[in-house]
Amino acid sequence: MVARVAPFDFDACNQYLEELLAQTAVSYDAEQLNQLTTLIEMLNTWNGALNLTAIKDVRQMVLLHVVDSAVLVPVLRALMQQGQNIKTVADVGTGAGFPGLVLAILCPDLHFTLIDSVGKKLSFVRQVVAKLNLSNVELINKRCEEIKHEPFDCIVSRAFAPLERMVGWCLPLLASEGRFVAMKANLEADEIQAVPITVTIESVVELQVPTLDAKRQAVILRHAEAKTE
């Protein structure tokens, strides 16, 4: 039997999300704020049936899924300001849509492809895309090695495996001058040493997630032969 879902307080969630985002460099408008709150509402509703996330508390969903994803937006914008041509972005291992759905809401000028091999999670993502009318999102229900797709300008991922393995899966999908942005809790020295010589770690950006007492980093990688700006 599916556990009963507690009533969702849209306004309280919306206000809490706004308070957190106000402490970041993320730009958003009222419509985007409401879309992000609706995403949390749907995650809260569907989670019991589909087991989308181990996080059950709504405020923790806001912090650890939405805000933790949103802080990648300034990273993408900075890459673009540095001359990086980013129009297409893939989220590898998107799960219930993080960070991809959040980025798609906050960056409507970019096209996002959300990739995951778990169909039930993408069924949820598909419902969110339809509910929010996100015309800049497409879904691929396959493993990375099974995908035949035009190379992406940028790949993002909340790294679910050691960096070496992530590189092996993601780099074949990355355009020759593209950038791979891997979110890590903490980049260890042995992970850096294990990265293949076919890629270069361009930079490591410290991510600041309000009220979260944990390390977050965005590791930016490129093909070793790619040009730097």
Q: How far apart are CA 206 and CA 216, in angstroms?
A: 6
168 annotated ligand binder: no
C-alpha angle 63-22-66 in degrees, rounded to nearest 5:
25
179 annotated ligand binder: no
Strand 217-223 to strand 199-206: parallel, antiparallel, or no bridges (unpaired)? antiparallel
144 annotated ligand binder: yes
Q: How far apart are CA 13 and CA 72, in angstroms?
A: 21
Cβ contacts of 36 within 8 Å, gap of 6 or more:
17, 28, 66, 70, 102, 105, 106
> Is the separation of the CB atoms in 33 and 14 below 8 Å?
yes
Terminal-to-terminal C-alpha distance of the chain: 56
77 annotated ligand binder: no
Nearest to 99 by CA among 131, 74, 130: 74
Q: How far apart are CA 1 and CA 48, in angstroms?
A: 10
Annotated binding-site residues for S-adenosyl-L-methionine read: 93, 98, 144-145, 158
Annotated binding-site residues read: 93, 98, 144-145, 158
